[in-house]
Amino acid sequence: MGFFGRKKEQVPPHPRQEPRIDLPLTLESLKRVFQDCVDFSFREIDLAGDLNKRVAAVFVGGMVKMERASDYILRPIAQDEALRETDLHTAFRRMAGGALYNLTVDERKTTDEAVSDLIAGNLLLLFPGEKTVLSFNVGTEEKRSISPPENEPAIKGSRDSFVENLRTNTSLVRRHLRAPELRIKEQIVGRQSLTPVDILYLDGIADPDTVRQVEERIRNIDIDALLATGNLEEYIIDDLHTAFPMVAHTERPDRFCAGLAGGRVGILMEGLPLGYLAPGTVGQFFRAPQDKSNNWMLASVLTVLRYLCVFATLLLPAFYIAVVTFHQEMIPTRLALSIIAAKRDVPFTTVFEVILMLIAFEILQEAGLRLPPSIGQTVSIIGGLVVGTAAVEAKIISPAVLIVVAAAGIAGYTMPSQEFAGALRIWRFILAVLASVAGLFGMIMGAAALVIHLSRLESFGVAYLTPFAANGGEQVEGRTVIRQPLPADKLRTAGLKTGNRRRQK
């Protein structure tokens, strides 16, 4: 029995059928597999116009480029006079050996392989009497063009970003990182989606154990469809019971390649215009892509500012609640008189005001994200007027609370990773509630619980608090917060256990 006396639902088995399509490799079998599919097409072709020598061409409409199939496959078959003097078996061997104008040709022996090729955009040639078919890659290249990144603007950097096509993404990585040591391994995930997932790393630099873990975890994903980011992330991370991201993602190929060069393992997935970098560490989420494009002193100041903003977004609402509710003696006299005067006509307690404003802030942010840009901006403006000016003038919220919550919210936007900023927002609520119960003591206990929680996290065997606390006590001094000048930055992060720690002479 489950909660409230309800009977637990019986989970049915999830067997995997092998082979997926248990049919002989014939045209009739392919017709049966694709029955009621309007995009399934086939036609018979006479070899050099000989009516006694006919082969069947099978393809899926919309997945193949018609001009390429007609010019490089069908036209040579219909016009090659040499085929008149050969039998079907000899013609089959000639085409398999490269007689047609196509870069790749494969022989498929099972219906599973043939169907997968059809869905991928290949054209199949079926010869009477042959147990195998010829598969030609004539897939269409229609895709979204490469455009500048939207969520990670490049000020001094490349203007390209990942797209939904996996091969385009790997080509972008190859253009940025031309090392022959770059390895790209592929696995198919999802029983129904059959989604290709590529694992990228630099041989000799990335930790072999991390590469093995990434391969094994992706191989163990057994779901029907791999379509969303959560379908991949939540199956490969070490700990699901945390709000903090365990792997970093980016839509910029230059940042992705920088992670590979630093010893991380990359993951690219068909249909997603972004790449993942594992393992994920705290220091990684505080670094912006343009940090290495700016002067090292400016980058260091901005990084320190981000760390200060993290403390502000986490602790400012909780500190205000604790001081105003429990520790009024800590407030300077003139400031205390100002707060008292502002709260004189406000009917709610400080705790209720802060929690209410934090919730309103989250609602406005969520509404702005989910609506189209034009409507989202309107909602943000109206919400800001209602929640801000109107609420203060109506004596529902005190001005000090509005300033504290707004400052905490804006400070959270300085984080380069919005997933990390989202986790901080959850802990901001927790600390505010603890401060409303036990004042500064509750806030400090909540902050200690956060540090303990982070210290227990690992991502693919690497401590999450790297470079503040790496496995085995290893730390690299001078690189935790302050960025060194690039000529002096000789070594890769020790916590990643790279095969070659030296990055430059």
User: pLDDT over 90 for what percent of the chain?
Assistant: 36
Segment 402-424 mean pLDDT:
89
Q: What is the pLDDT of residue 392?
A: 76
Range from 207-221, 384-398, 443-457, 469-483 carrying the lowest mean pLDDT: 469-483
- More confident call, 245 vs 341: 245
User: pLDDT over 70 for what percent of the chain?
Assistant: 92
- More confident call, 101 vs 239: 239
Angle between helices 253-261 and 166-176 (to 10 degrees): 60
DSSP 3-state helix, strand, coil percentages of the chain (rounded to 5)? 50, 15, 40
Q: Which of 473, 469, 437 is nearest to 321 (CA)?
A: 437
Strand runs labelled E in 180-236: 182-189, 195-202
Q: What is the pLDDT of residue 183?
A: 94
Segment 391-403 mean pLDDT:
82
Q: Is the pLDDT at 4 greater than 60, yes or no?
A: no
Segment 421-439 mean pLDDT:
93
- 416 and 286 Cβ atoms separated by less than 8 Å: yes
Segment 15-31 mean pLDDT:
86
What secondary structure letter does DSSP report for 204? Answer: T
Exposure class string for 361-389: b at 16+ Cβ within 10 A, else e: bbebbeebeeeeeeeeeeeeeebeeebbe
Q: What is the pLDDT of residue 441?
A: 94
Q: Is the pLDDT at 8 greater than 70, yes or no?
A: no
Domain edges within the chain: 27-137, 166-280, 295-462
Q: Is the pLDDT at 478 greater than 50, yes or no?
A: no
- More confident call, 424 vs 230: 424
Range from 222-231, 268-277, 350-359, 461-470 carrying the lowest mean pLDDT: 461-470
- HSE (side-chain half, CA atoms, 13 Å) at 121: 14
pTM of the model: 0.86
Q: What is the pLDDT of residue 247?
A: 93
Q: What is the pLDDT of residue 474?
A: 52
- Give the confidence band of 259 by pLDDT, cuts at 50, 70, 90: very high
Q: What is the pLDDT of residue 365?
A: 80
Q: Is 110 exposed, middle or buried (0-12, 13-18, 19+ CB in 10 A)?
A: middle
Q: What is the pLDDT of residue 150?
A: 80
For residue 414, what are the CA distances in angstroms to 5, 175, 294? 47, 31, 17
pLDDT digits (tens, 9 = 90+) for 335-349: 888 888 877 778 888
- Give the confidence band of 288 by pLDDT, cuts at 50, 70, 90: confident
- Give the confidence band of 290 by pLDDT, cuts at 50, 70, 90: confident
Q: Is the pLDDT at 486 greater than 90, yes or no?
A: no
Query: Which amino acid makes up residue 267?
Result: I
Segment 445-458 mean pLDDT:
93
Which residues on neighbouring strands pair with residue 64, listed in sequence order? Answer: 139
pLDDT digits (tens, 9 = 90+) for 115-155: 999 998 899 999 988 889 999 988 887 778 888 888 887 77
- More confident call, 86 vs 270: 270
Q: Is the pLDDT at 295 greater than 90, yes or no?
A: no
pLDDT digits (tens, 9 = 90+) for 176-186: 999 999 999 99
Q: Is the pLDDT at 245 greater than 90, yes or no?
A: yes
- Identify the H or E element spanning 339: helix 333-342
Q: What is the pLDDT of residue 386?
A: 66
Largest separation between any pair of C-alpha atoms in the chain: 105
- 293 and 155 Cβ atoms separated by less than 8 Å: yes
Q: Is the pLDDT at 1 greater than 60, yes or no?
A: no
Range from 73-87, 104-118, 331-345, 454-468 carrying the lowest mean pLDDT: 73-87
Q: What is the pLDDT of residue 442?
A: 93
- Give the confidence band of 173 by pLDDT, cuts at 50, 70, 90: very high
> Please, where are the H alpha helices in 413-495?
418-456
Range from 82-86, 241-245, 377-381 carrying the lowest mean pLDDT: 377-381
